[in-house]
Amino acid sequence: VVVNIPGEVPYDVRIGDAVLEGLGTSLKRLPAVADAPHLLILTDTNVAPLYLDAAKASLKIAGFRVSDVVVPAGEEAKSVAVAGEVWNAMAALGLTRDCAVVALGGGVVGDLAGFVASTYMRGIPFVQVPTTLLAMVDSSVGGKTGVNLEAGKNLVGTFKQPAYVAACTTTLATLDEREWACGCAEIAKAAVIDSDEFFFWMMDHAEAMVARADAVVAEAIARSVVFKANVVAADKTESRGVRECLNYGHTLGHAVEALAGFGTFSHGAAVAEGMRFAARLGADVVGTPPELVEAQGELLDGLGLPSLAWSAPAEEMLAAMKRDKKTRGGQVRFVMPRDIGAWELVGVDDAVILEHLRAWEA
- Select from 55, 25, 61 the least CA-distant residue to 43: 55
Q: Is 276 a catalytic residue?
A: no
Residue 29 CB, nearest distance to ligand NAD (Å)? 25
Q: Where are the alpha helices (DSSP H) in the chain?
A: 23-28, 53-61, 80-92, 107-119, 133-134, 177-194, 196-210, 214-234, 250-260, 267-285, 290-302, 314-322, 350-361
The catalytically annotated residue of 122, 150, 325, 328 is 122
Residues lying near ligand NAD in the complex (CB under 6 A) are found at 44, 46-47, 50, 73-75, 78, 105-109, 111, 131-132, 134-135, 138-139, 142, 144, 153-154, 171, 174-175, 179, 182
Cβ(321)–Cβ(252) under 8 Å? yes
Q: Is 247 a catalytic residue?
A: yes
Instruction: Calculate the alpha carbon distances from 44 to 6, 50, 163 in Å.
Output: 32, 10, 21
165's torsion region: left (phi>0), alpha (psi -120 to 50) or beta? Answer: beta
Q: Is 240 a catalytic residue?
A: no
Q: Is 325 a catalytic residue?
A: no
Nearer to ligand NAD, 182 or 303 (CB): 182
Q: Is 122 a catalytic residue?
A: yes
Nearer to ligand NAD, 47 or 336 (CB): 47
Nearer to ligand NAD, 181 or 286 (CB): 181
Q: Is 228 a catalytic residue?
A: yes
The catalytically annotated residue of 254, 276, 280, 333 is 254
The catalytically annotated residue of 238, 316, 344, 355 is 238
Cβ(113)–Cβ(77) under 8 Å? no
Residue 303 CB, nearest distance to ligand NAD (Å)? 16
Cβ(225)–Cβ(198) under 8 Å? no
Residue 183 CB, nearest distance to ligand NAD (Å)? 8
Residue 60 CB, nearest distance to ligand NAD (Å)? 21
- Select from 157, 161, 228, 159 the least CA-distant residue to 198: 228
Nearer to ligand NAD, 138 or 235 (CB): 138
Residues taking part in catalysis: 122, 144, 186, 228, 238, 243, 247, 250, 254, 267
